[in-house]
Amino acid sequence: MTAATSGPESPLRGRDLLSIADFSAAEIEAVFERATALKAEFRTKHRHDSLPLGGRTLAMLFQRPSLRTRVTFEAGMTQLGGHAIYLTNDVVLGARESVRDVARNLERFVDAIVVRTGPHEVVAELAANAGIPVINGLTLREHPCQALADLLTIRERYGRLAGLVVAFVGDGNNVYHSLSLAGALFGMEVRLAHPAGYAPNERIVATARAFASKSGGGLTFGNDPAEVVRGADVVYTDAWTSMGQEAETEERRDAFAGFQVNAALMRAAGPDAVVMHCLPAHRGEEITDEVLDGPQSLVWEQSENRLHAQKGLLVELLGEVPVEPDESGARGGQ
């Protein structure tokens, strides 16, 4: 494998991704195009002919446990010729060192930072003080990398995004926030079935509604899962209790008891609906084995697409576009 030949930079080069709303629909589409090409090549060869991230280093600053986010970013960097450094207990943001000082150190060592933490303000402070791209790998407010993989998966399944209906069954959490913003950007109808008291952030909803008003999409809310999923193309769920909410486990289990994605709910959605879950799944709670492992499930393709979507993102943020030879065999881009 050889390093990629230098070419024109991506318009996203050097940008932060703190919220999925930081990118336009056209910019997200560019990530999808890159991810689709990388996925096709990797599935065929299990390698890449060029290494657009050769010599690049990603700091992975994780304050929360992770399977998919850690492995897909680390594997993605390796597969594209770069390197990832996993930092967990080595760095306690705001304790051993201030967030500002961590940012100022890391910007001199590495090419980008992916952060997985609780308060969204921590990621924003890192980005404000680091002169390199900062990627939100999960905060309590948003999970934009998950939304990229989600929409890439739906796009692969249906060949489009505009006009499709996604019904999220659960609470208005970080995954819903990013999904609603991304779906609204692309003209999708994003629905939420949630128990009373578990509505999403009002500012996120207002931003998503503004996007939807321009794209032809929409947001709807309800407390009856069977009504909300009726006619949906995608039924999406997440764990009832997220990290940091463990003290609320029993209370949430009672509140969400009627919000399980099971065979009956999928029948209400319709025979052509597919099911998605960002994982980890609590089997027998928010989703049954029959649905998670059944023929309507896109969950494992969705999980795999974390790798491909993030590889597309990393190349757009850090890499250079290879220059294709012209018909005479000479390199273009002169």
Tens digit of each residue's pLDDT (9 = 90 or more) over 102-114: 999 999 999 999 9
pLDDT, position 3:
43
Contacts of 250 (CB under 8 A, 6+ apart): none
With a cut of 60, say whether residue 5 has pLDDT above it: no
Whole-number pLDDT of residue 189: 98
pLDDT tens-digit map of 154-197 = 999 999 999 999 999 999 999 999 999 999 999 999 999 999 99
Q: Is 145 a catalytic residue?
A: no
Res. 247: pLDDT tops 90: no
Catalytic annotation present for 22: no
Calculate mean pLDDT across residues 61-74: 95
Q: Which residue out of 79, 238, 252, 296 is catalytically annotated?
A: 238
The reported pLDDT for the residue numbered 6 is 46
* Catalytic residue, candidates 15, 48, 68, 143: 143
pLDDT of residue 8: 63
Residue in 63, 79, 146, 302 annotated catalytic:
146
Query: Choosing from 155, 306, 308, 310, which is the catalytic residue?
Result: 306
Assess whether 160 carries a catalytic annotation. no
Mean predicted lDDT score pLDDT of the chain: 92
306 is catalytic: yes
Which residue out of 155, 233, 260, 278 is catalytically annotated?
278
From 56, 116, 155, 194, the catalytic residue: 116
All structural domains of the chain, each given as residue ranges with its CATH number in brackets, are 2-142+306-318 (3.40.50.1370), 145-302 (3.40.50.1370)
Least confident of 66-70, 247-251, 267-271, 312-316: 247-251
- pLDDT tops 80 at residue 152: yes
Q: Is 146 known to be catalytic?
A: yes
- Whether the per-residue pLDDT at 322 is higher than 70: the answer is no
Select the more confidently predicted residue: 1 or 31.
Answer: 31
Mean pLDDT of 306-313: 98
